[in-house]
Amino acid sequence: MKNNTSPFSDYVNVHGLDDIIALHDLALQELKAIELESQSVHLPALNQLGYSLTHFLNAISNSKSEEEVKNELEKAKNHIKRCLYDAVEYQILDYLESIIKFKNDFRNINIAEFIPDYHLTMKKVEKIKNDLKFYTFSSDKRDLHFEQIKKSQTILKEITNQLESTRPVLIDAVQGNRSKAFSITRNLLLLVLSLLGVIIAFLAKV
């Protein structure tokens, strides 16, 4: 009777693929989140999934021993991790950019009047930015810092959503300030013209 087992099936029977499948699902979730929120595809992260597929296929078809299968699957796993980390890093940078743009858009009004605890929120953002300087996405530190980086991503997402939800109110406030400024300028101009009229009338009598 022909033996249909292979180094790959022998390895899977002993070790399984649950961890690789779970990581792959997480990576796909992050990529989908990027697509939904920014209407774009993060190619560097997507490429990592392609590389992982290459190693996975090598494990199935080209490996001659269980050790080779293990090595190829470990490489596939590392590429999936890199995809996950790159995607999360991309979203963090995107959220930070959105927050900077928000602050710049409404730099001429007191945002704290419209957003409760705004200054405290900005302190959280600055802390995350400072913390990220100590985190690294190098291969030997990714697992160590990823949990904290993921928490930072969640916090920044909540902050970004909070800020953007107040944008319509702040736009109205900006337009109101412009109307007030225009009204003040107009009144000053009318006052100057009136004074000029009085002066001219007085000089005409002299």
Rounded Cα distance, 162 and 115, in Å = 9
Query: Using an 8 Å Cβ cutoff, are 154 and 89 in contact?
Result: no
The percentage of the chain sitting over the pLDDT mark of 90, rounded to a whole number, equals: 41
Question: Any residues with CB less than 8 A from the CB of 193 and at least 6 apart, and which?
Answer: none
Question: In the chain, how long is the greatest CA-to-CA distance?
Answer: 128
- The CA-to-CA distance between both ends of the chain, in Å, stands at 128
Q: Could you report the per-residue pLDDT of 38-65, keeping only the tens digit for each?
A: 878 888 999 999 999 999 988 888 767 8
Lowest mean pLDDT among 17-26, 67-76, 138-147: 138-147
Please give the model's pTM, rounded to 2 decimal places: 0.75
Residue 184 has pLDDT above 70, yes or no: no
Would you state the pLDDT for residue 177? 54
